[in-house]
Amino acid sequence: MSAPRPVDGVGFHQFGAEVVLQHGDDLHLLDPVAAVVWQCLDGTVTAAGIAEDLAPAFGREVGALRADVDAAIASFAAAGLLDEGPPPAPGPEFLDPDGTLFCATCTRAPERARRAVLRIGDHLVVVGTDDAAVHDAVTAALAAHLVRPADLPGGAALVPPTFSITLAEQTPRGLQPLHVLHRGAPLAIGSRRARRVLDGLVLHLAVHTDLAAAGLVALPAVAVARTGTAPGEPVVLVPQSPRAAARERRGARRGLTVADTPVALLDPTTGEVVVGAPGLAVDLGPLHALAAAVPDVGSEVEPLPWGRYPVAAIGARGATDRTRALLALAPPHEGWPDAPGAQAALVDLVGRVEILEGDSLG
């Protein structure tokens, strides 16, 4: 067995100097070498590699220790504790497994009665709602990504929704609550138009697809343009803002609009920003049919329509030269999808477009 790995369900218990493995009703007492060897088995390291790594710790020659390592692995195999099949392909992980975006006491993002679990790229994403019509529209639109209950990993029911949707109803007093999309507890989109919230869910999900396969990189920026700008017309990239909603309202008063995407999806080859859902298998029909049946609760500036837009400039406060513009839109090194590729694309973009001091939204 070249790179042995344990079968599932083996318990590792230590009682003072003694180590016991429990597999079902069987108990196996291990000597010190076997105990350490067991902890090294992960399906990637060989017996030779284990012996080489452990020899200094045990003060022994690699060749002499190799015999003990081989004996321990043979005993594990004889006891049925090792899996001899090919290693399983890595499964997707929940996008927000610990609920770090979720606030248990936040009344705007409560637990949802209806949940859909979607596989988006390498992630499982929980979308919650309390409305049957919204749930049905989301599952129909994203049926290609829907994960069956039988295929969910253990504990899936305890993972809070990463995204949740509430469509507002007109109140008897004539108040105008917003249709909302939450990402965890924070408000991602609040709109008087249901379609904007439903489309916004799709745009947010698209960020977690395989962007490299679509030839795109993600930048921590949003696209800004004059209201009425159509695909093919130039836009300005500005940095993300924690106060995006307030900035959007100020921009609307100045005749500006923004894309509802949480990041800018840049095509490095063409220098265009893509507003849409590349890499996502989605049927927008059910979402738009639902939106048509839900009355608007007011009017507002339309967001930037879906399509491709050439980037004409980068705008950021204090960006008086290309270096400062680069710093303003630079992706984080940790946790950002394809950060090196995004950084390289940004360097190239900064060298080709105009730099504007100010974020163009006041």
Give the per-residue pLDDT at 166.
Answer: 92
Give the per-residue pLDDT at 196.
Answer: 93
Give the per-residue pLDDT at 240.
Answer: 80
| CATH number for the segment(s) 5-83 | 1.10.10.1150
Give the per-residue pLDDT at 243.
Answer: 57
The three-state secondary structure class of 181 is strand
| Non-local CB neighbours of 259 within 8 Å, separated by 6+ positions | 203, 222, 223, 273, 275, 303, 304
The overall pTM is greater than 0.85: no
| Non-local CB neighbours of 221 within 8 Å, separated by 6+ positions | 237, 238, 239, 240, 263, 264, 314, 329
Helices (H) then strands (E): counts for the chain? 9, 19
The full DSSP string for 297-342 is: SS--PPPPPSEEEEEEEEEETT--SHHHHHHHHPPPSSS-TTHHHH
3-state DSSP helix/strand/coil % of the chain, to nearest 5: 30, 25, 45
Rg for the chain, CA atoms, rounded: 27
C-alpha angle 181-115-205 in degrees, rounded to nearest 5? 50
Give the per-residue pLDDT at 103.
Answer: 43
The full DSSP string for 229-275 is: --TTS-EEEEE--TTHHHHHHHHHHTTEEE-S-SSEEEETTTTEEEE
C-alpha angle 88-91-96 in degrees, rounded to nearest 5? 155
pLDDT tens-digit profile, the chain (362 residues) = 578 888 888 888 877 667 888 888 888 888 888 888 888 887 778 888 888 888 887 788 888 889 999 998 999 989 888 887 666 555 677 776 444 444 444 444 456 889 999 999 888 999 999 999 999 999 999 999 999 988 888 778 888 888 999 998 755 455 558 899 988 878 888 898 999 999 999 999 999 999 999 999 999 999 999 999 999 999 999 988 755 555 555 665 678 888 888 899 999 999 999 999 999 999 999 999 999 999 888 888 889 999 999 999 998 887 778 888 888 888 887 678 788 889 999 999 998 999 988 754 44
Residue 65 burial by Cβ neighbours in a 10 Å radius (0-12, 13-18, 19+): buried
Q: What is the DSSP letter of 81?
A: -
Asked if 17 contacts 1 with a C-beta cutoff of 8 angstroms, the reply is no
**Segment (H or E) for 119:** strand 114-120
Give the per-residue pLDDT at 109.
Answer: 44
Report the alpha-carbon distance of residue 293 to residue 276 in Å, rounded.
23
Asked if 160 contacts 166 with a C-beta cutoff of 8 angstroms, the reply is no
Domain ranges of the chain: 5-83, 93-357
